[in-house]
């Protein structure tokens, strides 16, 4: 079974609008962390935001927020006020306490911001 | 500045040749990883290492080999046994701990093309 599922291969958003990128995960470990990375066309992976399984509040980092619904095992990334520079691939990832230092990545969502 | 360096950025190789991709980090991280990314795809784990002189196979280790003689260095050799080596290769590192909130830091990647 896939540990991380991203069901949106591609998304489009108008500049200055908000967009939600979906991510669901599968784990039986009560202790886990969820991460979002951005990959521009240059290929580098840029860490955006983190959510821990025991965190009571949704994580926020500037224009990025994570809509964490633990019962539904979803960790959607919300980007507010989209900018042209947000066009990139976005990957959701998970790290489980029991598997120590392995990270599991989804297949990614390609976001295009339209001017 | 702390970070991860990968060299070279672009690499061309003739079919049947072995080639070694460099990965160096000065973040004092114990854990290091190698991922392969094909066009439009997610990241697949090749090998990871949690300590010097020790490493574990990931999901697609066949045709690859690694070494970890120093904490800072984790080179990846793509051997002639790898059937389809043309891909983008990413090296990453992370703090080794019993906690899940430590993200992975990534290098800029090496794009390997087999001619």
- Please state the rounded mean pLDDT for residues A19-43: 95
Instruction: Return the pLDDT at B115.
Output: 86
Q: pLDDT tens digits for B26-59? A: 999 999 999 999 987 889 999 999 999 999 999 9
- Please state the rounded mean pLDDT for residues A17-46: 95
Rounded to the nearest angstrom, the gap between the alpha carbon of residue A4 and the centroid of all alpha carbons in its chain is: 10
Q: Which residue of chain B is at minimal alpha-carbon distance from A89? A: B40
- Please state the rounded mean pLDDT for residues B92-98: 83
One DSSP character per residue, A19-67 reads EEE--EE----SSEEEEEEEE-TT---EEEEEEETT-SS--EETTEEEE
Q: Is A6 left (phi over 0), alpha (psi -120 to 50) or beta?
A: beta
Contacts of B33 in chain A (CB under 8 A): 103
CB within 8 Å of A56: residues ≥ 6 apart: none
Whether the CB of A43 is below 8 Å from some CB of chain B: the reply is yes
* Per-residue pLDDT at A2 exceeds 90: no
Which secondary-structure segment (H or E) carries A112?
strand A109-114
* Per-residue pLDDT at B100 exceeds 70: no
Q: pLDDT tens digits for B74-86? A: 999 999 888 899 9
Which secondary-structure segment (H or E) carries A113?
strand A109-114
Instruction: Return the pLDDT at A101.
Output: 74
- Please state the rounded mean pLDDT for residues B11-21: 92
Q: Are A63 and A79 in contact (CB under 8 A)?
A: yes
Instruction: Return the pLDDT at B1.
Output: 65
Q: pLDDT tens digits for A54-113? A: 999 999 999 999 999 999 999 999 999 999 999 999 999 999 888 767 889 999 999 999
* Per-residue pLDDT at B97 exceeds 80: no
The encoded tokens of residue A88 equal 């990139």
- Contact flag A32-B100 (C-beta cutoff 8 Å): yes
How many other C-beta atoms lie within 10 A of the C-beta of residue A14?
A: 11
Contacts of B101 in chain A (CB under 8 A): 33, 50, 52
- Contact flag A35-B41 (C-beta cutoff 8 Å): no
Whether the CB of B50 is below 8 Å from some CB of chain A: the reply is yes
CB-nearest to B100 from A96, A105, A107 is A96
Q: Are A109 and A89 in contact (CB under 8 A)?
A: yes
Q: Which of B70, B65, B67 lies closest to B26, judged by CA?
A: B70
Q: Which of A5, A11, A27, A1 lies closest to A105, judged by CA?
A: A5
Whether the CB of A47 is below 8 Å from some CB of chain B: the reply is yes
A20: confidence class by pLDDT, cuts 50, 70, 90: very high
Q: Which residue of chain B is at minimal alpha-carbon distance from A90? A: B42
Distance CA A13, CA A112 (A): 6
Instruction: Return the pLDDT at B101.
Output: 73
Query: Helix (H, G, I), strand (E, B), or coil: what is residue B24?
Result: strand
């Amino acid at each position: 079974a896939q540990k991380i599922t991203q069901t949106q291969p591609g998304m489009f958003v108008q500049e200055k609008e908000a967009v939600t990128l979906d991510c669901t995960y599968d784990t039986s470990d009560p202790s886990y962390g969820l991460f979002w990375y951005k990959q521009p066309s240059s290929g580098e992976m840029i860490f955006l935001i983190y959510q821990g399984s025991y965190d009571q509040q949704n994580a926020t980092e500037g224009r990025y927020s994570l809509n964490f619904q633990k019962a539904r095992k979803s960790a959607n990334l919300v980007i507010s006020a989209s900018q042209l520079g947000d066009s990139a691939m976005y990957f959701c990832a998970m790290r489980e306490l029991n598997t120590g230092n392995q990270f599991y990545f989804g297949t990614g969502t390609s976001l295009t911001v339209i001017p | 500045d702390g970070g991860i360096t990968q060299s070279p950025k672009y690499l061309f190789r003739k079919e049947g040749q072995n080639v070694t991709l460099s990965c160096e980090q000065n973040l004092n991280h114990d854990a290091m990883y190698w991922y392969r990314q094909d066009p439009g795809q997610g990241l697949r784990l090749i090998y990871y290492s949690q300590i010097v002189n020790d490493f574990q196979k990931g999901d697609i280790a066949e045709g690859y080999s690694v070494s970890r003689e120093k904490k800072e260095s984790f080179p990846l050799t793509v051997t002639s046994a790898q059937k389809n080596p043309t891909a983008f290769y990413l090296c990453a590192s992370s703090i080794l701990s019993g906690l899940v909130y430590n993200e992975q830091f990534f290098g800029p990647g090496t794009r390997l093309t087999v001619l």
